[in-house]
């Protein structure tokens, strides 16, 4: 079976650190899809889902820090969409943990649709703002903005460099 969760350049927001994180999210979805398809068992799937949820929260923290620093006008709405996804996935996770649901291709479909639509619509909007205001020079986040983003995640300094 071919990869269903594959990064392509159409998802690039033009910010290297965020693109790297988005690629990692696609990789984690593919890892979960493979585990389900190859019947690795529910414990393995739960472990991957936990990693996906944890990494998504860290990713959202960086995005939100950068949006705040760039004075992105739709910051609050974007942040709320992040909160809504986290709440929805945590609710699904609780159902899985309690035996009320299983990790399935339907869950993967939901996550993939959310990720791709979110990147192509919501994230591209802040990317345009970053480019228009000169917040991002070239493909990387300016050093002062990166330092502020790092500081916003206690105990997780430069975590995105290791994923």
pLDDT of residue 144: 62
CATH of the domain at 61: 1.20.120.50
144 inside domain = yes
Considering its fold, how many domains does the chain have in total? 1
Structure tokens at 106: 């339907």
pLDDT of residue 161: 42
Residues of the chain falling short of pLDDT 50 = 1-2, 157-163
99 inside domain = yes
pLDDT of residue 157: 46
DSSP 52-99: HHHHHHHHHHHHHHHHHHTT-TTHHHHHHHHHHHHHHHHHHHHHHHTT
How far apart CA 154 and CA 107 sit, in angstroms, is: 31
pLDDT of residue 154: 52
112 inside domain = yes
pLDDT of residue 159: 41
Domain containing residue 102:
14-153
How far apart CA 3 and CA 122 sit, in angstroms, is: 25
107 inside domain = yes
34 inside domain = yes
């Amino acid at each position: 079976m071919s990869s269903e969760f594959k990064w392509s350049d159409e998802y690039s927001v033009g910010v290297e650190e965020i693109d790297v994180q988005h690629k990692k999210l696609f990789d984690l979805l593919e890892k979960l899809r493979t585990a389900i398809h190859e019947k690795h068992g529910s414990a393995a799937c739960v472990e991957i889902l936990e990693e996906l949820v944890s990494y998504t929260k860290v990713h959202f923290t960086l995005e939100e820090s950068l949006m705040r620093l760039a004075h992105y006008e739709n910051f609050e709405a974007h942040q709320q969409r992040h909160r809504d996804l986290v709440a929805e996935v945590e609710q699904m996770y609780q159902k899985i943990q309690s035996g009320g649901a299983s990790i399935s291709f339907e869950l993967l479909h939901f996550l993939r649709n959310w990720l791709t639509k979110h990147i192509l619509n919501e994230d591209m909007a802040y990317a345009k703002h970053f480019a228009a205001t000169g917040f991002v020079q070239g493909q990387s986040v300016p050093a002062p903005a990166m330092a502020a983003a790092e500081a916003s995640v206690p105990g997780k300094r430069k975590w995105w460099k290791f994923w």
